Amino acid sequence: MLDPGRSVVAVNSLRSADGNLLITQTLQGRLAGDVAGSVEETEHLVVHPRGEVEFRGIDVCSCTVAGRSGTFVDGFEVQVASDGTLTSTVRGISSGGGLAGLHFEGRLAGPTTGPNAGSYAVRLHFDP
């Protein structure tokens, strides 16, 4: 999970269109748990007038997974309903170093009440 101490490094773009707020930002943080290491994330968000939020982006992680260290890139899509319920998907795009051959996909669902809220389901494997 991404450490709640992650921080926005840069808001690259901020504009409105059709009543929506459009934001592109870069964040940095740390992952902890079964996947651990530093991550830089680029997000493209749409904040709708009624409170719904949609965003997508990529993570670039220098991480350790299953005792192997290297890098991976993933893509994600997230929807947050006006009641705070979150659903998202994540999929590995590329991997290198000791993580070469890593493939994964998963989902997260639940309330947006904190970094440990909701349920996670991620399937991963390494190619032989």
Torsion, Cα of 48, 54, 58, 64 (10° steps): 130
| Contacts by residues 53-59 (CB-CB < 8 Å, ≥ 24 positions apart) | 53/78, 53/79, 53/80, 54/78, 54/79, 54/80, 58/93
Number of domains in the chain: 1
Domain that holds residue 102: 7-126
pTM: 0.84
2 within domain boundaries: no
Say how far residue 68 (Cα) sits from the centre of its chain. 21
Band (44; pLDDT cuts 50, 70, 90): very high
CATH of the domain at 118: 2.40.350.10
The answer as to whether 40 is a domain residue is yes
Residue 103, burial from CB neighbour count under 10 angstroms (0-12, 13-18, 19+)? middle
117, part of any domain: yes
Per-residue pLDDT at 5 exceeds 80:
no
85 in a structural domain: yes
Dump pLDDT digits (tens) for 65-121.
Answer: 999 999 999 999 999 998 888 899 999 999 999 999 999 999 988 876 655 556 778
pLDDT of residue 118: 67
